[in-house]
Amino acid sequence: MLFHYHFWTPFVEETEEFYKANGFHVSQRIGRYQNEFQSFNPPQTWGNFRNKNILFRIIEMKKGAINITFGFGKKVKFDHIGFLVSDDDRRKIIDSAKQMHRNIQVNERRTFIGTPYGFRIELQTNHDVVESEDSPISIRELDISTSSKDFQQFFIKLFKKDMSEIVPIFGDKTTITRAVINHIRLKIATDPNGVTLQNKTIE
């Protein structure tokens, strides 16, 4: 299940406000302050720490079966997308990645697989990364701009199946341009990092 994407951005507070306006809630904030990584989780708000010059490593926001994360970067950069998979599927995908000679990083919480396109793919087996896997609020489709002609074939080869939820859009810069989300009420359409959210209601 496609559940996640991550950006580095200079617009950290603005990105949080965007997703909050669309019904997401903050589950954690971790940032570097006075040379140490510290938590700034709710109930703390930006009014408590806005002027402390914190470099946020990650802010995590959840809604339904969706998990969005972002951290501070000097410029907007798309970092990775994430799939929630079973242990068995995770092993199969890792085997495919090895056959494709991709870079693989494994730790206790998640696995990252490198792509030739400048972003990574996260494989997640921990179900607590979303509020509910059964929620109707979920990512239906991500449009990713790319100049590569073999983009879809890469995903098919890695996952051994059609990946219709990943849609390549021709463009010079590799980034997410649109996220189609099932059953979400949108107040603002485009986030500060250029991702346009679109509602899709399944009949």
Q: In what order do the strands lie in the sheet with 166-170?
A: 166-170, 138-146, 175-182, 196-200
Q: What is the mean pLDDT of residues 177-202?
A: 92
Q: In whole angstroms, what is the distance from residue 64 CA to residue 184 CA?
A: 10
Encode pLDDT of 3-25 as tens digits: 999 999 999 999 999 999 999 99
pLDDT digits (tens, 9 = 90+) for 46-102: 999 999 999 999 999 999 999 999 999 999 999 999 999 999 999 999 999 999 999
Split at pLDDT 50, 70, 90, the class of 203 is: very low
Element housing 185 (H / E): none
- pLDDT, position 188: 84
* Domains of the chain by start residue, with CATH: 2-200 (3.10.180.10)
Half-sphere exposure of 137 (CA within 13 A, CB side): 16
Instruction: Give the global pTM.
Output: 0.94
Torsion of Cα atoms, 93 then 96 then 100 then 101, to 10°? 70
Closest alpha carbon to 142 in 111, 179, 195, 184: 179
Question: Which is more confidently placed, 201 or 50?
Answer: 50
The predicted model gives 18-38 an average pLDDT of 97
**Can you tell me the mean pLDDT for 147-155?**
94
How far apart are alpha carbons 31 and 54 in whole angstroms?
6
Distance (Å, whole) CA 118 – CA 68: 19
- Give the mean pLDDT of 142-146: 97
pLDDT > 90 in the chain, percent: 94
Q: Is the pLDDT of residue 121 over 80?
A: yes
